[in-house]
Amino acid sequence: MTNGAIKALADQVRNGDRGALARAITLLESDAADQVLERQALLEAVLPQPETGIRYGITGIPGSGKSTLIDALGLQLIGLGHRVAVLAVDPSSTRSGGSILGDKTRMNRLAVHDAAFVRPSPTGGALGGVARRTREAMVLCEAAGYDRVLIETVGVGQNELAVERMTDLNILLMLTGAGDELQGIKRGIMESADVVVLNKCDGENRRACERTRGDLQHALQLLPARANGRRPEVLLCSAMEGTGIAELADHLERSIAQDRSNGAFAERRQAQWSDWLDGAIADALSTEFARDARILQAKEEYRAQVTKGHVSPARAAAELIALFRKGGAPPRE
């Protein structure tokens, strides 16, 4: 793409053209070496932007009701005058090509709403690549006028921590009756939650939810307070019936307002940019390393030695990096 074409695309995105936004995100999802400069130019054409957009992370195991909740919460936010984008971070899609989070048809009402933009998970690439793509897509959505971005992720593996570092508030979705182990509730996940939402509190489940709320509140008291000084509140809702959704939206928006006034919001945004820089450096280095023809060949030789136990992986890595520093062959396209 020429510079002019990139600028035109960025202008269309900023005008809220959904087709252009989808094309722009597709361009950013590319890992092609010859598009790195285009990707940079596109991002730079929409940055900096005013920090009117808010990023909410939504984490929960499959079946906890993330998509049902996002559908309901998204509509609630739209009712409050916002435009809502939904992005999914799905590590499974990078490994198997399959997806835990599924596709956008799960959010039926939101997917067809004029004020919403729902993007299924990026596929392919390493986990770091998923983080990069999600961040970049998020910034494009904000540039297109979606001032509430909901980032959905399954709370397993490492990805929830990456998501914590790209959002302004994190919502952990839980169920009553499912054991902690089943919910993948490790300390780290609880610690990265700003709000805990117990979903499916309807019908016969309602009373059990009240009990679980008490237990969770107690457990949360034992964790350190979040950087903004708060401890997560436990809210009850039924995403299916729509109860508790208005209260959730209200709680989220009030928390953000509070964070804005006490400086916690700005601090967290700075951490997001800083983390993005670290991620970009790591991505760029490993990409260059992987594309270096001399390294590619030497790596296979070392691999043979390492697997036979003749050379330690640490030594092989150090020697490969020394070779890389000396300047390998030009990158293979």
Q: Is 23 exposed, middle or buried (0-12, 13-18, 19+ CB in 10 A)?
A: middle
Is position 238 an interface residue for ligand GDP (rule: CB under 6 A)? yes
Among 62, 120, 125, 128, binds ligand GDP (CB under 6 A): 62
Is residue 125 within 8 A of residue 134, CB to CB? The reply is: no
Q: Which is nearer to ligand GDP, 68 or 92 (CB)?
A: 68
- Least distance from C-beta 146 to ligand GDP, angstroms? 20
Q: Is 206 exposed, middle or buried (0-12, 13-18, 19+ CB in 10 A)?
A: middle
- Find, among 119, 52, 59, the residue nearest to 253 by Cα: 52
Is residue 11 within 8 A of residue 140, CB to CB? The reply is: no
Contact positions with ligand GDP (CB under 6 A) in 156-215: 199-200, 202
Q: Which is nearer to ligand GDP, 139 or 151 (CB)?
A: 151
Q: Which is nearer to ligand GDP, 140 or 237 (CB)?
A: 237
Is residue 29 within 8 A of residue 135, CB to CB? The reply is: no
Q: Which is nearer to ligand GDP, 240 or 311 (CB)?
A: 240
Is position 240 an interface residue for ligand GDP (rule: CB under 6 A)? yes
Q: Which is nearer to ligand GDP, 53 or 57 (CB)?
A: 57
Contact positions with ligand GDP (CB under 6 A) in 78-97: none
Among 53, 65, 232, 279, binds ligand GDP (CB under 6 A): 65
- Least distance from C-beta 237 to ligand GDP, angstroms? 7
Is residue 62 within 8 A of residue 98, CB to CB? The reply is: no
Contact positions with ligand GDP (CB under 6 A) in 21-50: none
Q: Which is nearer to ligand GDP, 202 or 275 (CB)?
A: 202
* Beta-bridge partner residues of 151: 57, 87
Q: Is 224 exposed, middle or buried (0-12, 13-18, 19+ CB in 10 A)?
A: exposed
- Least distance from C-beta 202 to ligand GDP, angstroms? 5
Among 39, 45, 46, 66, binds ligand GDP (CB under 6 A): 66
Q: 3-state secondary structure string, 165-211?
A: CCCCEEEEEEECCCCCCCCCCCHHHHHCCCEEEEECCCCCHHHHHHH
- Give the residue at shortest CB distance from ligand GDP: 65
Amino acid identity for residue 150 in this structure: L
First-to-last alpha carbon distance for the chain, in angstroms, is 17
Interaction site with ligand GDP (CB under 6 A): 60, 62-68, 106, 199-200, 202, 238-240
